[in-house]
């Protein structure tokens, strides 16, 4: 399972992301997290990914990430 989120331009460094069972990396404003917590069963909850960033301007931002399982978004 891969989760990708591109933060809006109003957010900047330092940007961090992570959670138990996830391996996350940040390049620019793009956050990519891969599930490294082992096999999961049907209807299983995984830990929430926490993202921290600095707001570089005032305003309202809309943010949406996406998840991919075995290449399917």
Mean pLDDT of 23-28: 96
The answer to whether 67 touches 1, Cβ cutoff 8 Å, is yes
User: What is the rounded distance in angstroms from the CA atom of residue 43 to the CA atom of residue 59?
Assistant: 37
| Mean pLDDT along residues 32-44 | 89
3-state secondary structure of 3: strand
pLDDT confidence of residue 70: 77
pLDDT of residue 73: 58
The predicted model gives 63-72 an average pLDDT of 80
Residue-averaged pLDDT of the chain: 90
Q: Which pLDDT belongs to residue 63?
A: 86
């Amino acid at each position: 399972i891969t989760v990708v989120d591109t933060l809006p331009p109003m957010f900047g460094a330092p940007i961090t992301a992570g959670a138990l069972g996830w391996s996350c990396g940040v390049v620019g404003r793009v956050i990519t997290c891969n599930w490294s917590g082992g096999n999961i069963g049907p209807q299983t909850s995984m830990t929430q990914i926490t993202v921290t960033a600095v707001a570089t301007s005032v305003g309202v931002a809309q943010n949406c990430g996406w998840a991919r399982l075995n290449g399917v978004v």
